[in-house]
């Protein structure tokens, strides 16, 4: 068992990582909660695979369990699905002393977390991420949200879970494209903070080797994220570093209707696009873009996209990273050395390329 503590005063919690952990969650949740009822919020991909196992584990520790399931996909991360989840929570009579568990990738985690943050003004919740992306990023740090037609994650909150239980064995059923999707975020952590992590990933030859090393990669990423969140829970400074590749990446995802590219694919393209430009400007060490492209391509991640710069600019204008006439970008000076880079909004076209 690998344990990482996210030290946030009264909101401190542990991230536990172990193969087989899914079947141990009942007793672990019982140590954290006196709840009578537990609601599992999941989606139509993950619930059939793992919902029953989690339910059995929780029921074995005395919880009365309800499973709430919605259609899988980013298109479900909206107000209508959130409303459906609230109605289900009300129907089973969940009280403020009960417990919510989110089971799945980023969508059940973000949407279920927002339901936990707001239903009855807040119910304890536990994240049980099942995709690599959720295991190394979205389940840690308390960002919960839904999308609006105007953009991703535009309605949300900061609401820390009571625990994050990560079972890397669940990645065995994750389609390869989504394993690589999560790996793009791991590569991002390497780029901004940890050259050794970047080199570890760059030295991996194939997916079997990747899965063999995944526990240590997850631990390294969660450690980086935990330290950043401890320093800047509310995303006003250092936490923005986690957005490397996201400003352009989100815009590309949105312009392509959230269907052409996965989140990690958008981030990969965004990291390359921006780094190519900052390298040309002399802000990034020569050769960095090539190293980034090489590792992304090894895991079948796209490194470029056809896009209309004007459309990308329009989407970026709505981005949360823009404030007034300025926008804060995250750039890397070299692999492992990210930094915030505040620029005038008018200067942005040069960074898009
Ligand atoms: N996914 C970025 C953050 O949690 O801040």
Task: Indicate the DSSP class of residue 162.
Answer: S
Nearest CA to ligand 1 atom 3: 242
Topology agreement, domain 2-173 and domain 176-352: no
Tell me the two tokens of residue 203: 């030295």
Torsion sign (Cα): 175, 180, 183, 188: negative
Give CA–CA dist 96/35, Å, rounded.
9
Rounded to an integer, what distance in angstroms lies between the CA atom of residue 225 and that of residue 273? Answer: 24
- Name the token pair of 152: 């991703």
Largest distance between two CA atoms of the chain: 60
Joined tokens for residue 249: 């990446």
8 Å CB contact between 146 and 118: no
Ligand 1 closest atom vs CA 140: 4
* Topology adopted by domain 2-173: Rossmann fold (3.40.50)
The reply to whether ligand 1 has any atom less than 6 angstroms from the CB of 185 is no
Give yes or no for residue 238 CB within 6 A of ligand 1: no
Q: Is 235 in the pocket of ligand 1 (CB under 6 A)?
A: yes
The CB of 246 under 6 Å from ligand 1? The reply is no
Q: How far apart are CA 148 and CA 312, in angstroms?
A: 17
pLDDT at 321: 63
What dihedral do alpha carbons 48, 53, 59, 65 form, nearest 10°?
Answer: -20
What's the Rg (C-alpha) of the chain? 20
d(CA 339, CA 199): 20
pTM assigned to the model: 0.94
User: Does ligand 1 lie within 6 Å of residue 239's CB atom?
Assistant: yes
C-alpha span between 14 and 5 (Å, rounded):
4
pLDDT in tens, the chain (353 residues): 899 999 999 999 999 999 999 999 999 999 999 999 999 999 999 999 999 999 999 999 999 999 999 999 989 999 999 999 999 999 999 999 999 999 999 999 999 999 999 999 999 999 999 999 999 999 999 999 999 988 788 999 999 999 999 999 999 999 999 999 999 999 999 999 999 999 999 999 999 999 999 999 999 999 999 999 999 999 999 999 999 999 888 888 777 766 788 889 999 999 999 999 999 999 999 999 999 999 999 999 999 888 787 888 887 877 656 667 888 899 999 999 999 999 998 898 899 88
CA nearest neighbour of 46 among 181, 239, 175, 216: 175
- The answer to whether the CB of 242 is under 6 A from ligand 1 is yes
Assess if CATH 3.90.1150.10 describes domain 176-352. no
Contacts of 114 (CB under 8 A, 6+ apart): 82, 144, 145, 146, 155, 156, 157, 159
Do residues 338 and 277 lie in contact, with contact meaning Cβ atoms separated by under 8 Å?
A: no
Q: Does ligand 1 have an atom closer than 6 angstroms to the CB of 51?
A: no
The whole-number pLDDT of residue 87 equals: 98
- Domain borders along the chain are 2-173, 176-352
Distances (CA, A) of 38 to 41, 143, 200, 269, 289: 10, 21, 39, 40, 47
CA 147, 274, 140, 171 torsion-angle sign: positive
Pairing of strands 124-129, 99-104: parallel
* Residues 307-334: b if buried by 16+ CB within 10 A, e if exposed: beeeebeebbeebebeeeeebbbbbbee
For a substitution probing ligand 1, which of 129, 137, 186 has the most ligand atoms within 8 Å of its CB?
137
Centroid of ligand 1 to alpha carbon of 139 (angstroms):
9
């Amino acid at each position: 068992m690998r344990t990482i503590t996210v030290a946030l005063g009264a909101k401190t919690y542990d991230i536990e990582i172990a193969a087989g952990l899914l079947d141990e969650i009942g007793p672990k949740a019982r140590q954290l909660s006196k709840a009578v009822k537990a609601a599992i919020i999941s989606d139509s991909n993950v619930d059939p695979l793992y919902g029953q196992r989690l339910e059995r584990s929780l029921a074995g520790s005395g919880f009365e369990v309800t499973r709430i399931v919605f259609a899988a996909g980013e298109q479900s991360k909206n107000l209508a699905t959130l409303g459906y989840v609230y109605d289900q929570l009300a129907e089973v009579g969940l009280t403020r002393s009960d417990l919510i568990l989110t089971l799945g990738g980023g969508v059940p985690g973000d949407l279920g977390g927002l339901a936990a943050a707001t239903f009855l003004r807040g119910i304890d919740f536990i994240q049980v991420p099942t995709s690599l992306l959720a295991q190394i990023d979205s389940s840690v740090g308390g960002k919960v949200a839904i999308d609006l037609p105007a953009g991703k994650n535009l309605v949300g909150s900061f609401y820390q879970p009571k625990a994050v239980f990560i079972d890397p064995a669940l990645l065995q059923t994750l389609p390869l494209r989504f394993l690589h999707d999560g790996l793009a975020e791991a590569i991002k952590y390497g780029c901004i903070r940890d050259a050794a992590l970047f080199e570890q990933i760059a030295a991996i030859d194939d997916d079997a080797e990747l899965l063999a090393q995944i526990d240590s990669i997850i631990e390294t990423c969660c450690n980086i994220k935990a330290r950043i969140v401890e320093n800047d829970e509310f995303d006003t400074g250092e936490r923005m570093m986690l957005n490397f590749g996201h400003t352009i990446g989100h815009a590309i995802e949105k312009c392509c209707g959230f269907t052409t590219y996965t989140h990690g694919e958008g981030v990969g393209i965004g990291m390359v696009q921006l780094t190519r430009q900052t390298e040309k400007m002399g802000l990034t060490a020569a050769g960095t873009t090539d190293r980034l492209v090489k590792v992304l391509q090894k895991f079948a991640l796209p490194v470029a996209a056809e896009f209309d710069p004007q459309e990308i600019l329009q989407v970026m204008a709505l981005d949360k990273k823009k404030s007034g006439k300025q926008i804060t970008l995250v750039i890397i000076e070299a692999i492992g050395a990210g930094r915030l880079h505040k620029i005038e909004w008018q200067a942005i076209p040069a960074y898009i390329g």
